[in-house]
Amino acid sequence: MGIEILQGIISIIVILGVAPMFAGMVNKQKAILTGRIGAPIWQPYYDLRRLFKKETINAASSSFISRISPILNLVTLITAAAMLPVGFWKPLISFNGDIILFAYILGLARFFQILAAMDIGSSFEGMGAAREATFALFAEPIFFFTIGSISFISGLTSLYDIYHSIQLTNISYEVFIVICSISVFMLAVTECSRMPVDDPNTHLELTMIHEVMILDNSGFDLFLYQYSSYIKLFIYAVLEISFFYPFSKQSYLLGIIIFISGSVGLTFVLGIVETITSRYRMKNIPQYLLFATAIGILNLLIYTFTK
Amino acid sequence: MKLLEVQNNQLFNIDAIHFLGKDEFRNTVAVLMQNGNRMIALTPIDKSDPQKIIAVLSDSSSSMIGVVGGDFSKGKLEFESWANDFPQTHYFECELSENYGYVPVNHPWLRPVRKQNVILGNKPYQFFKLEGEEIHEVAVGPIHAGVIEPGHFRFQCHGELVYNLEINLGYQHRGVEKLFLQSSPNQQIILSESIAGDTTIGHTFAHCNAIECLSHTQLSLRAEVVRTIASEIERIAMHLSGLGGIANDIGFALPASSYGRLRTLAINSLASICGSRSGRGLFIYGGVRFDLNDEIINTVVNNLKIVQNDVRQVNEYLFSSVGALSRLEETGIVKKDLAQNVGLVGLAARSSGLEEDARIHFPYSAYRYNPISMITLSTGDVFARARLRALEIDEALRFIFDQIENLPQGEIKSDIGNVTANSGAISIIEGWRGEIAHIVFTDEKRNLLNYKIKDPSFNNWYGLSLALRETAISDFPLCNKSFDLSYAGHDL
C-alpha cells in the first residue's frame, strides 16, 4: 500500500515536472521542420520563471472570480494529472468510476476559465469564452465515446484499470486501440487549443480561442494559466501514450520506456501535424469534432459486430 | 468642358487650370466620373490659401489625367457631395473637410480621416453603431496583441458574423505633406523614403519623377531601367512577405517560413545594389546613386533564379492544399462593381477583375518601352488576392531578367536643373500595393506650394471594410493580410 502511494506521488511529480518540456519539444520539432533553429526545449521553464516573478495586475472591472480562477485551474489540472498512470504504476487517485471525475474535473477548470474571461468584461474575452464553450460542447462526446467505449467493452470504470486490463487476445482490440488513439488525438488537439483547431502561436486576437481568454491576465496569474495549459497538454499526451501499454508485458522498465518513447514520438506527430496543416475555418471546427465522435461510435459498432 | 488634361509626369502651368464656380466645378467632376474617371486627389493648390481647390481625375482608357479647378473665394466653402452617386469620392471629401474646413453638403458619412476629436460639419463624430438585442460590438486596437501598426477596428457583429466594420486610422499621422513644404530638396528625398517603410522605392520613385518633371530633367535609359528593376524587386519582396503572412494567418507553418526565406533573398538583392535591404539611398534626383556592375548583376540574378525556382514549388504546395484553399476561397469577397464604385486600386482592384495598373495605363520611366502584362483575376476573394501575388511575382521576375539581359549603356545620373516656377506636376506610379500619386505645385519663387501624396492604402482601406461584410470575424486577420494595407501610408 505504502509503495503504491509513493509510486503515485512520483508519477504526479513526473507529470508536473515534464509537462513544460513536452510543450518545448513540440515547438522545437515545429521549428526544425520549418527550417529554423527554434527556442531551446527548456524555453517554457524560462517563460514560467519570468511570469512567476512578475506582478499580477487585474482589470478594474474584475471580481473575485478572476482572482480564484487561475489557482482553481491549476489545482483541478493537478488533480486530473493525479489520476493518470505513468508506466505501470498505479496513480494516486484511482477508484471505480474515476473516468467521470476525470472528464468533469477538466470541465470544472474550463468552467472557471470561461467565467473569468467573461468577468473581465472585455468584448474579446467574451468572444473567446463563447468559442471555448461552443467547441467544448462538441468535444465532450469525443471523450465519452472513446474512453467510454473502452470502459463499456472492458466493463471497468477506472482509467488505470481500463488501460491495464485490455488483453490483446482478439484482433479487433488492436483495431480498436488504433481508432481510439486517433480520436483521443483529435480530442487533445481541441482541448489543448493546438492546430488545426486553434493556433497557439498566433498573435491575432480575433482568431484566438484559448489565448484570447487569458489576454488580460498577467504575472503570477498568467503563470498559473500557462502552467495549467502545459499540464493539460501533457495530460492528453499521457492519455494517448497509455494506449500503447497493452502492447507490452507488465514490467516497470517497459512501462517507463513506453512512457518516454511515447512522449517523444508524440511530439514528432504534433510537430508534423502543426507544420503541414492549416487552421480550419471556425465554422468547420464542429464538423471536425463530430468526426472524432463518429470514430468513437465506430468503436462500439466494431465491438458489437465482432464479439 | 473646361478642364486641363495632362499626361503622367507632364509639366503644366498653374495658370492653365480653369477655376470654375462652385456649381460648374461640381458638375464637371460629376460628368467626368460618370464617364469612368477615377478620383486621385481633391486638394487646394496652395496649402495656405484653401479657397482654390483642384480635383484630379484619371482616365485609364485614354491615359490622361484631368485637372478641374474650383474657386470658392466667393461664398462659403461648401459644395454638393458626390459621394451619394460616386462612393469613391467619399474619403477624399472627408479629407478635404478635415484639413481645410470644407463642408460637403449631403455627404452620407462624414467622418475623420486622420485626426481624432475633430469636429466635421457641426457635431463630433460618433462611431457607427448597430442597434439590436443580439448585436455585439468588438473594438480592436489601436494597441494590438501583437507588435503591429496601430489601427482601430470596430466590428458590429451578430455572433461570429460581421455586419459592419468601421476602420479608424490616423494614429501615425506625422504631417508628412507639411514636412515636405518645410524641408530642403536634399531632405525631401529622404522624407519620401520614409513615407511608408514597406514602399520605400515606390514613394521615392513617385517623388523623383515629380521633381524631375518639374525641373525638365531627362534621365538616361540605364538609370530608368535600374529604377524599374529595383521597383520590381520591391514588388517581389513584398508579395513574398504578403504570401508568407497569409500562410501564417491560416497557421500554415511550412509555406509561411519558406516565403520568409525567399523574401530574404529578394531584399538581399536590393541590398547588393544599394546597400539597404529596403532600397534606401538608391534614388537621387536625375538618376540612381549606384550602378549595376557584373558582380552585382550576378548576385541579383542568382538570388532571383533561386526565388523563381523555389517560389514555384511553394506556390504549388500552398495552392494545392485543400485546407488552405478552404480558408482562402470565398473569404472576404469584393465584387467587381463594388470595387469599381469605391475606387479600389492596384492589387485589390485587379483581383476583383478591374483592369487598373499604372504601369500600363499611365506608363512611366522604363515601362514606356518595356511593357508589363496586365494580370487580373475575377473572384475578388482572399484566394484571388493571394494568387495574384504569386502571378505578379512571376511576371516581375520575367521583367527583371528581361531588363538585365538587355541593360542599356549610359550614365546613371544626369544633372538636374532648377524646378520651374508657378507649375505643377502629377506623378503616378504603380507601387506593389497599387497606385501611388504625388502631386506637386510650385510658386513664383520656385518654392513648393503644396505637396499631395496619395498612397494606395487611402483607397483600399474602405475595400477592406466591405470585404468583411457577412464574413466571420475570425477571418478578419486573414482578409486584412490579403489586402496588406499600410497604416503609415494612409496616415501620412
For testing the chain B interface, which of A195, A206, A209 should be mutated: the one with the most B CBs within 10 Å? Answer: A206
ipTM of the complex: 0.86
Q: What is the pLDDT of residues B388-426, one digit of tens each?
A: 999 999 999 999 999 998 888 888 888 888 888 888 899
> What's the whole-number mean pLDDT along residues A235-248?
82
Residues of A in contact with B139 (CB under 8 A): 123
pLDDT, residue A45, reads 94
Q: Do A282 and B160 touch (CB under 8 A)?
A: yes
Neighbouring C-beta atoms of residue B414, cutoff 10 Å: 16
pLDDT, residue B263, reads 92
Residue whose C-alpha cell reads 499540464 in the numeric block? A231
Q: A67 burial class (0-12, 13-18, 19+ CB within 10 angstroms)?
A: middle
CA-closest candidate to residue B113, choices B351, B435, B461, B352: B461
pLDDT at A274 over 90: no
- % pLDDT > 90, chain B: 26
pLDDT at B383 over 90: yes
Instruction: Characterize the bridge pairing of strands B135-140 and B38-46.
Output: unpaired
Q: Do A127 and B249 touch (CB under 8 A)?
A: no
Q: Which residue of B has its CA nearest to A195?
A: B251
How confident is residue A171, by pLDDT bands cut at 50, 70 and 90? low
pLDDT at B75 over 90: no
Contact in structure between B185 and B280 (CB atoms under 8 Å): no
Q: Which residue of B has its CA nearest to A278?
A: B252
pLDDT at B251 over 70: yes
Q: Do B253 and A30 touch (CB under 8 A)?
A: yes
> What's the whole-number mean pLDDT along residues B467-485?
88
Instruction: Characterize the bridge pairing of strands B135-140 and B152-158.
Output: antiparallel
Q: Which of A35, A278, A280 sits opposite B257 (nearest CB)?
A: A35
pLDDT at B315 over 90: yes
How confident is residue A169, by pLDDT bands cut at 50, 70 and 90? low
Q: Which of A127, A215, A281 sits opposite B326 (nearest CB)?
A: A281
How confident is residue A1, by pLDDT bands cut at 50, 70 and 90? low
pLDDT, residue B391, reads 93
Q: What is the pLDDT of residues B183-232, one digit of tens each?
A: 888 888 999 998 988 899 999 999 999 999 888 888 888 899 999 999 99
Q: Mean pLDDT check: name the lowest of A14-28, A162-176, A195-209, B398-412.
A: A162-176
pLDDT at A174 over 80: no
How confident is residue A172, by pLDDT bands cut at 50, 70 and 90? low
pLDDT, residue B388, reads 93
Q: What is the C-alpha separation between A68 and A71, in angstroms, rounded?
A: 6
Contact in structure between A242 and A84 (CB atoms under 8 Å): yes
Q: Which of B146, B252, B253 sits opposite A204 (nearest CB)?
A: B146
Kindly report the nearest CA distance between residue B453 and chain A, in angstroms: 31
pLDDT, residue A49, reads 93
pLDDT at A204 over 80: no
> What's the whole-number mean pLDDT along residues B43-55?
86
Residue ranges of chain B that CATH labels 1.10.645.10: 176-491
pLDDT at A251 over 80: no
Instruction: Take residue A14 and report the three cell numbers written for it.
Output: 513526473
Kindly report the nearest CA distance between residue A235 and chain B, in angstroms: 24
Q: Which of B258, B323, B472 sits opposite A278 (nearest CB)?
A: B323
pLDDT, residue B397, reads 92
Residue A84 to residues A73, A182, A229, B189, Cα–Cα distance (Å): 17, 19, 16, 67
Contact in structure between A244 and A262 (CB atoms under 8 Å): yes
CATH architecture of B176-491: Orthogonal Bundle (1.10)
Helix axes B221-249, B200-214, angle to 10 degrees: 150
CB pairs under 8 A between A and B: 91
Residue whose C-alpha cell reads 531551446 in the numeric block? A40
Q: What is the pLDDT of residues A73-110, one digit of tens each?
A: 999 999 998 888 887 778 888 888 888 898 899 999 99
Kindly report the nearest CA distance between residue A52 and chain B, in angstroms: 21
> What's the whole-number mean pLDDT along residues B337-361?
90
Residue B68, beta-bridge partner list: B55
Residues of A in contact with B257 (CB under 8 A): 34-36
Residues of A in contact with B144 (CB under 8 A): 203, 205
Q: Which of A206, A215, A275 sits opposite B253 (nearest CB)?
A: A275
pLDDT, residue B448, reads 86
Q: Do A278 and B250 touch (CB under 8 A)?
A: yes
How confident is residue B436, by pLDDT bands cut at 50, 70 and 90? very high
How confident is residue A183, by pLDDT bands cut at 50, 70 and 90? confident
How confident is residue A42, by pLDDT bands cut at 50, 70 and 90? very high
Q: B133 burial class (0-12, 13-18, 19+ CB within 10 angstroms)?
A: exposed
Residue whose C-alpha cell reads 476573394 in the numeric block? B381
Q: Do A34 and B254 touch (CB under 8 A)?
A: yes
Backbone angles phi, psi at A193, to 5 degrees: 45, 60
pLDDT, residue A50, reads 93
For testing the chain B interface, which of A36, A202, A204, A218 should be mutated: the one with the most B CBs within 10 Å? Answer: A204
Neighbouring C-beta atoms of residue B454, cutoff 10 Å: 26
Q: Do A281 and B472 touch (CB under 8 A)?
A: yes
> What's the whole-number mean pLDDT along residues B300-315?
92
Backbone angles phi, psi at A120, to 5 degrees: -65, -30
Contact in structure between B383 and B328 (CB atoms under 8 Å): yes
Which conformational region is residue A273 in: left (phi greater than 0), alpha (psi within -120 to 50 degrees), or beta?
A: alpha
pLDDT at B443 over 90: no
Kindly report the nearest CA distance between residue A222 and chain B, in angstroms: 15
Q: Indicate the CATH number of B4-113 among 3.40.50.720, 3.30.460.80, 3.40.190.10, 3.10.20.30.
A: 3.30.460.80
End-to-end CA separation in angstroms for chain A: 37
Residues of B in contact with A30 (CB under 8 A): 253
Alpha helices per DSSP H over A166-215:
171-191
Q: Do B249 and A204 touch (CB under 8 A)?
A: yes
Q: Which of A35, A130, A279 sits opposite B251 (nearest CB)?
A: A279
Residue ranges of chain B that CATH labels 3.30.460.80: 4-113
How confident is residue B1, by pLDDT bands cut at 50, 70 and 90? low
pLDDT at A167 over 70: no
Q: Do A278 and B247 touch (CB under 8 A)?
A: yes
Mean pLDDT of chain B: 88
Contact in structure between A128 and A212 (CB atoms under 8 Å): yes
pLDDT at A249 over 70: no
Q: Which of A123, A199, A215 sits opposite B251 (nearest CB)?
A: A199
Q: B76 burial class (0-12, 13-18, 19+ CB within 10 angstroms)?
A: exposed
Mean pLDDT of chain A: 85
Q: Do B472 and A282 touch (CB under 8 A)?
A: yes
Kindly report the nearest CA distance between residue A284 and chain B, in angstroms: 10
For testing the chain A interface, which of B250, B265, B322 should be mutated: the one with the most A CBs within 10 Å? Answer: B250
pLDDT, residue A289, reads 87
Q: What is the pLDDT of residues A101-159, one digit of tens each?
A: 988 999 999 999 899 888 888 888 888 888 888 888 888 888 888 888 878 777 788 88
- % pLDDT > 70, chain B: 100
Residue A225 to residues A59, A132, A221, B20, B319, Cα–Cα distance (Å): 16, 15, 6, 67, 37
For testing the chain A interface, which of B147, B254, B327, B382 should be mutated: the one with the most A CBs within 10 Å? Answer: B254
